[in-house]
Each structure stands twice: as structure tokens, then as C-alpha cells.
């Protein structure tokens, strides 16, 4: 295994690229860790990044730990939507620290810039992150290092402090100049990349924290697909197109129910039978009628239609397509989510943070 001097938190954003390049330029070997969860991470782009940036990059799956952190309630609260940005960085740094010995590395690199983001990159937040991740002396933030106390790799002479930077604030002028210096052939846009910072995604994810006792990463994968409906603790995802249908088929587990109108092409429906949800025959028939209401040919049929239900031994069920059913399937609104969010989680007053 190639020995490394440092491990870098690598999101694929411009700051993480530049922070890594700044240390590599000093002749040090850096391994980039690209963290992956249902909310962020693009492991399919790693090969491309390796090619265009000339960096060593590996994926690191933190899905289980990340979902558990969210479900427990992030200690430092959420931003504007469902983003636990301070706790997120603490989790990643702890994980990276545990990997140091495996790769022979002695310090960590992060692309943070003082004042760039309101929740996690204020100076006080940076201090909390390094302290609670127990990385205070081994964490180097190359882009703003000259505004921070010297770290161990600087004091030892392994890293030359004079070749580090003192960037601050939310502008990108300094970063763009540095990107030109390193002749980056591709400059990422400043847009986020974390679904937890987006209102539409937060609205999809939030019911999993209130209606499911112990949500799993695969639940959030499902929440990312198609239309999302709830009736109490019963959860139903309905495909909007062929790609959604294919994805729902991939995500269907052994205990899930999969609805499809017999003989007529149209959307699939997937119901997840998690503990506490009552999927009796009546509820299955209700969901079948609701799924059928999204099938134009089924709606245009005179009389009942048959709906196949994988996972239900009494299928097919004969139903009349109906958008309004006794169970009252509905999509939670953001206003409802926002009101319940304050009951379920601690809210950080600093507002939204974007990866």
C-alpha cells in the first residue's frame, strides 16, 4: 500500500480540491476520502476526478453512522432545512482520524474557509468541530491556515506554513485565482451537493424521522424516488416515469409490497412495511386504488381494474381507481414539516449551510 502523509476530506467541491492541491504541491502524498451517504457523495465521479485532478481518491461509506446521527438528533442542531452541518463535519473527521494508521498518515486536511458558511465555518464553529472530533492538533485547513494557530504538521516542519493561505469570507475570487494557478481543467460550481440542504428533499425525508422508529439508509434511498405519500405510518412511493419504476424495482425489499395495474402500462407503487405500520388487506386495497389513479388507462377503464401486489398472497386485488381514498394519502407540505421539525430537532439559529 502506498504510504500517505495526510488524509483529506474530499467532497469534489472547489475548496476540497484546492486544499488538497496546496499540500500535494509541497511534495506530500495525500489520500482523498470521498464520503458517501444517501444525502451526499458521487462515487461514480471518482474515476473522473482522479483523471482530471491527478489525485488519489477513495469512497468511504458512512451511510449507517450518518443516518443514526440524524435519527438521534444532531447535538449542534439543524440549519434551515435538515442539514446538520457541524455534526456532519465532526462525524467525517472522527472517521478520517480512525483511518490515519491504516494508511500511515499523520494528519488530516479539510477545505474549510473562515466565514464562508453561516453554520459550520464561523471561527467558533471551526473550533467546536476540531475539538469535538479530537483532531485539533492534527487537522490542517490549508486555505485559511494562516488565520489559525499552527498545527502539528506545521510545527514539525512537514508542512511549510509560508506556502499555506489566509482566505476568508464567502467570495470565490481567491479560490478561482488558485484554481488558475493549479491549472484546473474543470472548476466545480459553488452549488451544494447535500440533499439535506434542499427544501424539496427535506420534505421527503422528514416523515422518516417521525413515522419510523429506526430509519435505515435504504429508506432514504427510497424517499428519493418518485412521488411520496403517507397515510399515518403507512408509506407509499409511486413512480413518475419508467426510470422511477426501474429504481423502485431495484429498491424493493423482501418485506415490501409492489403495486402494478395488471395488463396496463403505468406507474409502480412501493409500500414499505416497517414496524408499526398496519398493512392489512383493507389498507392494501386502499393503496392499490390510489396507485391505479395515477394510471391514465386504468382511470379511463369502465369499472374496476386488477392490481397485482407482489408480497400479498391474495393478489390481484380488484379496485376502482381513486385519488381520494378512506386512508387519505397525502404528501406532507413544507409548512407542516417546518412546524414539526422544531418539535423533533434542535434548530441552529445560524440558518442554512451548503456543502
Question: How would DSSP label each residue in 32-55?
Answer: EEEEE-SSS--GGGHHHHHHHH--
Question: Cβ neighbours of residue 336 under 8 Å, at least 6 residues apart?
Answer: none
Helix (H, G, I), strand (E, B) or coil at 109: strand
Q: What is the pLDDT of residues 176-207, one digit of tens each?
A: 999 999 999 999 887 668 999 999 999 999 99
pLDDT for 27 equals: 97
Q: What is the pLDDT of residues 78-103, one digit of tens each?
A: 998 999 999 999 999 999 999 999 99
pLDDT for 349 equals: 56
Q: Residue 354 pLDDT > 50, yes or no? A: no
Q: Residue 353 pLDDT > 60, yes or no? A: no
Q: Residue 261 pLDDT > 90, yes or no? A: yes
CATH topology of domain 6-194: Rossmann fold (3.40.50)
Q: Residue 352 pLDDT > 90, yes or no? A: no
* 76, three cell numbers: 449542534
Q: What is the pLDDT of residues 122-168, one digit of tens each?
A: 889 999 999 999 999 999 999 999 999 999 999 999 999 999 999 99
What gap in Å lies between CA 57 and CA 10, rounded to an integer? 8
Section 3-15 average pLDDT: 96
CATH 3.40.50.620 positions along the chain are 6-194
Report yes or no on whether pTM surpasses 0.75: yes
Q: Rounded to 10 degrees, what is the CA torsion of 105, 188, 111, 181?
A: 80
What gap in Å lies between CA 271 and CA 294, rounded to an integer? 15
Amino acid at each position: 500500500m502506498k504510504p500517505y502523509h495526510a488524509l483529506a476530506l474530499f467532497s469534489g467541491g472547489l475548496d476540497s480540491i484546492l486544499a488538497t492541491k496546496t499540500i500535494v504541491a509541497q511534495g506530500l502524498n495525500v489520500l482523498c476520502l470521498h464520503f458517501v451517504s444517501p444525502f451526499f457523495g458521487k462515487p461514480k465521479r471518482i474515476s473522473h476526478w482522479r483523471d482530471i485532478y491527478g489525485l488519489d481518491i477513495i469512497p468511504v461509506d458512512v451511510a449507517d453512522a450518518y443516518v443514526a446521527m440524524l435519527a438521534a438528533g444532531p447535538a449542534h442542531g439543524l440549519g434551515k432545512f435538515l442539514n446538520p452541518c457541524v455534526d456532519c463535519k465532526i462525524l467525517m473527521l472522527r472517521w478520517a482520524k480512525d483511518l490515519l494508521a491504516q494508511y500511515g498518515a499523520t494528519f488530516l486536511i479539510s477545505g474549510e474557509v473562515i466565514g464562508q458558511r453561516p453554520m459550520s465555518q464561523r471561527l467558533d464553529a471551526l473550533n467546536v468541530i476540531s475539538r469535538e472530533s479530537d483532531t485539533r492538533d492534527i487537522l490542517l485547513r490549508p486555505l485559511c491556515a494562516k488565520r489559525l494557530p499552527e498545527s502539528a504538521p506545521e510545527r514539525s516542519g512537514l508542512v511549510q506554513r509560508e506556502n499555506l493561505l489566509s482566505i476568508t469570507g464567502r467570495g470565490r475570487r481567491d479560490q478561482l485565482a488558485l484554481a488558475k494557478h493549479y491549472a484546473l481543467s474543470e472548476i466545480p460550481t459553488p452549488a451544494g451537493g447535500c440533499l439535506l440542504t434542499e427544501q424539496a428533499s427535506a420534505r421527503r425525508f422528514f416523515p422518516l424521522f417521525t413515522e419510523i422508529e429506526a430509519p435505515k439508509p435504504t429508506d432514504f434511498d427510497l424517499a428519493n424516488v418518485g412521488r411520496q405519500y403517507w397515510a399515518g405510518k403507512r408509506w407509499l412511493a409511486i413512480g413518475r416515469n419508467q426510470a422511477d419504476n426501474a429504481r423502485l424495482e431495484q429498491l424493493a425489499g423482501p418485506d415490501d409490497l409492489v403495486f402494478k395495474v395488471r395488463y396496463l402500462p403505468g406507474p409502480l407503487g412501493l409500500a414499505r412495511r416497517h414496524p408499526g405500520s398496519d398493512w392489512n388487506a383493507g389498507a392494501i386495497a386502499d393503496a392499490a386504488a390510489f396507485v391505479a389513479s395515477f394510471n391514465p388507462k386504468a382511470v379511463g377503464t369502465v369499472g374496476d381494474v386488477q392490481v397485482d401486489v407482489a408480497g400479498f398472497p391474495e393478489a390481484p386485488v380488484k379496485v376502482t381507481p381513486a385519488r381520494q381514498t378512506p386512508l387519505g394519502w397525502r404528501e406532507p407540505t413544507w409548512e407542516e414539516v417546518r412546524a414539526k421539525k422544531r418539535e423533533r430537532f434542535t434548530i441552529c439559529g445560524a440558518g442554512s449551510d451548503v456543502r
